[in-house]
């Protein structure tokens, strides 16, 4: 068994040796044996080739028209942090802004990449990230065509290659329909295999990393929300990492009138979602520069 010669995890051996001699070696994700079949992972064809290198290139091209404008405002942000507190007041997120500006001095592209995406990439490729709430949960949000699903698929692939563990991709919209079909009350009735809700949810409880794409597109049926809440609760209890993508942040879903998650009245679930690490599909500098423009 041979690994990729440039693989930083196995150095071409094809296996990853654990620092603990009592733990067995793992097959590296860079080997054919260590890679899951695309059908097993569930990734649509559109995302099967996604990786961070391709994503950064696409993102940089998409942002090229206004990248210079954003970088030209870095000096204004540095001035903001340098001014006395009694003059500007407390700057919310001061520490985060300081870290971003420090990273920009080394590599300007940090300011153009999506807000929070650097942390996601570091976690997926090296396992290094400090989660504020303990559980490895990521919430990636942005409008349609913003690249959120592609970025999540790149993280899924990098994490699998690093750990050698199983991963799964699930479209929440498709899963919602399958759950509804399991109740036999859907006009289209597609449950030809007579699967129960348990049959649908159980296989998603155990993968090393699960990507739930378009979380905000779950069906309004309260039974769908209950099944998805059960899935998230199980992965939280087992401390299994999970990626969620949506068009909006979790707080925005809670405010939607009649949203099934709000109707569940599950405060613990909502708190966990709010506590997820965030990636917003806008250049990292943009939210800070927008603040400068506010009176």
Q: What is the CATH number of the domain that holds 135?
A: 3.40.50.300
What's the total number of domains in the chain?
A: 1
* Any domain includes 93: yes
Closest CA to 72 of 106, 32, 104: 104
Rg of the Cα trace of the chain?
Answer: 21
Tell me how far apart the alpha carbons of residues 237 and 155 are, in angstroms, rounded to a whole number. 22
Please provide the DSSP assignment of 194-236 as one string.
Answer: ---HHHHHHHHHSSSEEEEETGGG--S-HHHHHHHHHHHHHHH
pLDDT of residue 292: 83
- As given in the structure block, the two tokens for residue 54 are 């391709």
* Any domain includes 10: no
Spatial contact of 144 and 284, defined as CB atoms under 8 Å apart: no
Tell me how far apart the alpha carbons of residues 230 and 212 are, in angstroms, rounded to a whole number. 14
**Sign of the four-CA dihedral 186, 188, 193, 199:** negative
Closest CA to 133 of 248, 215, 250: 250
Spatial contact of 148 and 142, defined as CB atoms under 8 Å apart: yes
- Coil, strand or helix at 26: strand
Residue 33: is its pLDDT beyond 60?
no
pTM of the model: 0.83
pLDDT band at 22 (very low <50, low <70, confident <90, very high): low
* Any domain includes 247: yes
- Coil, strand or helix at 256: coil
208-240 pLDDT, tens digit each = 999 999 999 999 999 999 999 999 999 999 999
* Any domain includes 281: yes
Spatial contact of 265 and 271, defined as CB atoms under 8 Å apart: no
- Is the pLDDT higher at 26 or at 258? 258
pLDDT band at 3 (very low <50, low <70, confident <90, very high): low
Q: Cβ–Cβ contacts within 10 Å for residue 126, how many?
A: 12
* Any domain includes 25: no
Domain span at residue 145 reads 45-293
* Any domain includes 29: no
93-134 pLDDT, tens digit each = 888 899 999 999 889 989 999 999 999 999 999 998 989 888
* Any domain includes 14: no
- As given in the structure block, the two tokens for residue 8 are 């930083």
Average pLDDT along the chain:
87
Tell me how far apart the alpha carbons of residues 5 and 108 are, in angstroms, rounded to a whole number. 30
* Any domain includes 27: no
pLDDT of residue 139: 98
């Amino acid at each position: 068994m041979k690994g990729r010669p440039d693989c930083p995890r196995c150095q071409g051996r094809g296996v990853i040796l654990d620092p603990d001699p009592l733990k067995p070696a793992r097959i590296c994700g860079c080997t054919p044996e260590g890679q899951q079949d695309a059908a097993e992972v569930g990734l649509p064809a559109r995302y099967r080739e996604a990786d961070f290198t391709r994503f950064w290139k696409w993102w940089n091209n998409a942002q090229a028209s206004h990248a210079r404008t954003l970088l030209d405002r870095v000096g204004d942000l540095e001035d903001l942090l340098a001014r006395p507190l009694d003059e500007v007041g407390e700057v919310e997120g001061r520490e985060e802004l300081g870290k971003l500006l420090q990273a920009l001095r080394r590599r300007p592209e940090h300011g153009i990449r999506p807000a929070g995406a650097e942390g996601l990439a570091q976690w997926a490729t090296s396992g290094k990230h400090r989660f504020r709430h303990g559980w490895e949960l990521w919430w990636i949000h942005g409008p349609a065509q913003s690249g959120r699903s592609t970025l999540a698929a790149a993280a899924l692939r990098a994490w699998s290659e690093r750990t050698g563990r199983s991963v799964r991709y699930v479209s929440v919209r498709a899963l919602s329909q399958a759950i509804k079909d399991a109740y036999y009350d859907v006009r289209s009735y597609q449950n030809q295999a007579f699967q129960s809700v348990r049959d649908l949810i159980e296989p998603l409880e155990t993968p090393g990393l699960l990507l739930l794409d378009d979380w905000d597109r779950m069906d309004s049926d309260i039974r769908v929300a209950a099944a998805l809440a059960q899935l998230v609760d199980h992965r939280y209890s087992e401390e299994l990492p999970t990626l969620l993508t949506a068009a909006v942040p979790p707080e925005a879903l809670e405010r939607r009138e009649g949203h099934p998650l709000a109707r569940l009245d599950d405060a613990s679930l909502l708190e966990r979602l709010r506590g997820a690490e965030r990636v917003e599909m806008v250049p990292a500098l943009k939210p800070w520069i927008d603040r400068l423009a506010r009176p």
